[in-house]
Amino acid sequence: MRFLFKGVDFFPHDTRWKIIERRYIFIGLSWALAVLSAVLLMTRGLNYGVDFKGGSLIEVQAKAGGIDIGELRVRLDKLGIGDVQVQAVGTTGNEALIRVAQQVPTKDLNEEKVQGAANDKVKGALGETIDVRRIEVVGPTVSAELKRTGVIAVIASMFGILLYVWFRFEWQFAVAAILALSHDVFITVGMFSLLWYEFDLSVVAAILTLAGYSINDTVVVFDRIRENLRRYKRMPLVELLNLSINETLSRTVLTSVTTALAVLALYVFGTAVIHGFSFAMLFGIVIGTYSSIFVAAPFLLLFGVKRDWSGPAVKAPSKSDAAGKGRRENVASK
C-alpha cells in the first residue's frame, strides 16, 4: 500500500496547562452558574410543557401561505378559554404551536370534556385555511405523575451511575463524578429557565442521556488518573491530576465533538417536536465536557484519593514506560 492517509493530528499535545492550580477560577465560574440557575429556578421557574403542566398543545399548519401569528393570537384570545399561547415554529412561517391552559372543570363538564370543548373552540376558530397536525391533551393526573416519574428517573439514574463509578473506582471518584454530573444537570435545567424553552418529557429524556453521557468524559479522565496513580506513586496529587487531564484532553474533547456534530444535525434539521431535546443534549455535551476537564478532578483533590493502589499496573511496563516513569519521577521529586 503506497499511499496511506493517516489523518491530521491537529490537537495540541504535550500541553501542561495548569488547570488544577487555577481551579478556583473554574470552581468560581461553576458556582456562579449554579447560583444563577438556582435563582432562576426559584424566581422564574420552568416553562413546563403540556406533559408536566397539563392542558393542550395544538400544532397547526396553514394550507397555503403563512400564518399571521399576531392575528391568530387575537382571534384565540377572544374565545374565553383562559391563557392561550401562540408560537411560530419551523422555518417556513406556516406552522405554529398553540397552547391551551388546563381548563377548570364545571358542574356539567369533567376535566376531559371541558378541555375537549376548549380544543374544539380553538379548532373552530382556526377556520378553513389552517390544518391541525397534532394535538396533545394531558390531564392533571397524568401530568402530576409524569412530573414525579421524571424526578424519580433523574435521581434513579444518577444513583445508578454513582454506584457503578463507586464499584469501579473509589468512593472519592464516585462522589466527585456525581457532583460534576449534578453540576451539568442543574446548569442545563437553569439554561431552560433562562431561555424559557419548553421543558417537557423529551427534555427529561435528554437530561437522563446527558447524565449518562457527560459521565463518559469524566470516566476517561478518572481512568487516566487511576493509571497514573499506579504509575507515579510519589508524584504530588496536584501535578498528577494536571498531568492526567492534559494527557486525556484530546480524547475528552474529540469524543464530545463527534457526538456534538450528530446532535447539531438534529438541532438544525429536526422538527419542532425534538427541538428542546436536541438543545438540551447539545448544551449538555458542552457543559459536560467542561465539567469533566475543569470540575471533576478538582473535586477529587478536595476529597483526596488513596495513593496505595495495591493492584499491579495495568500491564507490565514496557521499555518506554519504564523510561518515562524514571524520567517523570525524577522531575516530580525535584
What does the DSSP 8-state code read for residue 91? S
**Is the CB of 77 or the CB of 116 nearer to another protein?**
116
85 near another protein (CB under 8 A): no
Distance of CA 204 to the CA centre of its chain: 9
Q: Is 74 in the site for another protein (CB under 8 A)?
A: no
CB of 268 to another protein, least distance (A): 7
Distance, in Å, from the CA atom of 293 to the CA atom of 180, rounded to the nearest integer, reads 10
Question: Could you tell me which stretch among 66-74, 77-85, 183-191, 256-264 binds another protein (CB under 8 A)?
Answer: 256-264
Q: Which residues pair with 99 in a beta bridge?
A: 57, 85
Interface pick for another protein out of 4, 42, 64, 316 (rule CB under 8 A): 4
**Strand 55-62 relative to strand 95-100, pairing:** antiparallel
266 binding another protein? (CB under 8 A): yes
Q: To the nearest whole angstrom, how small is the minimum distance from the Cβ of residue 264 to another protein?
A: 7
Taking CB under 8 A as the rule, does residue 237 contact another protein? no
What's the CA gap between 280 and 263, in Å, rounded? 10
The one among 193, 202, 242, 244 contacting another protein by CB under 8 A: 202
| Per-residue contact string for residues 169-198; x = within reach of another protein by CB under 8 A | ------------------------------
| Range in contact with another protein (rule: CB under 8 A) among 77-85, 190-198, 272-280, 305-313 | 272-280
Rg, the chain, Cα only: 26
Instruction: Write down the least CB distance from residue 230 to another protein, Å.
Output: 13
Beta bridge partners of 59: 97, 134
Residues with Cβ within 8 Å of residue 149, at least 6 apart in sequence: none
- State how far the Cα of 289 lies from the Cα of 214, in Å rounded to an integer: 7
Nearest of 147, 127, 121, 151 to residue 56 by alpha carbon: 121
280 binds another protein (CB under 8 A): no
CB atoms within 10 A of CB 281: 27
Size of the site for another protein (CB under 8 A): 87
Tell me the one-letter amino acid at 92. Answer: T
Using CB under 8 A, which residues numbered 15 to 54 contact another protein? none
Kindly report the number of other CB atoms within 10 A of residue 232's CB atom.
19
Please report, in angstroms and rounded to a whole number, the separation of the first and last CA atoms in the chain. 48
Give the separation between CA 155 and CA 208, rounded to whole angstroms: 9
Under the binding rule (CB under 8 A), the answer on residue 64 touching another protein is no
Span 203-222, contacts to another protein by CB under 8 A: 204-205, 208-209, 211-213, 215-217, 219-220
Applying CB under 8 A, the span of 160-168, 185-193, 234-242, 298-306 interacting with another protein comes to 160-168
Q: Compute the least distance from the CB of residue 308 to another protein, in Å.
A: 20
Residue with smaller CB distance to another protein, 35 or 313 = 313
Q: Which one among 81, 179, 185, 201 touches another protein, defined by CB under 8 A?
A: 201
DSSP string, 45-64: --EE-HHHH-EEEEEEEESS
> Could you say whether residue 7 binds another protein (CB under 8 A)?
yes
* Minimum distance of another protein from residue 113's CB (angstroms): 8
**43 vs 91, which CB is nearer to another protein?**
91
Cα distance between residue 235 and residue 218, in whole Å = 21
Which parts of 127-146 interact with another protein (CB under 8 A)?
Answer: 131-139, 141-142
161 contributes a contact to another protein by CB under 8 A: yes
Whether the Cβ atoms of residue 225 and residue 300 lie closer than 8 Å to each other:
yes
CB of 245 to another protein, least distance (A): 14
Residue appearing with cell numbers 438556582: 38
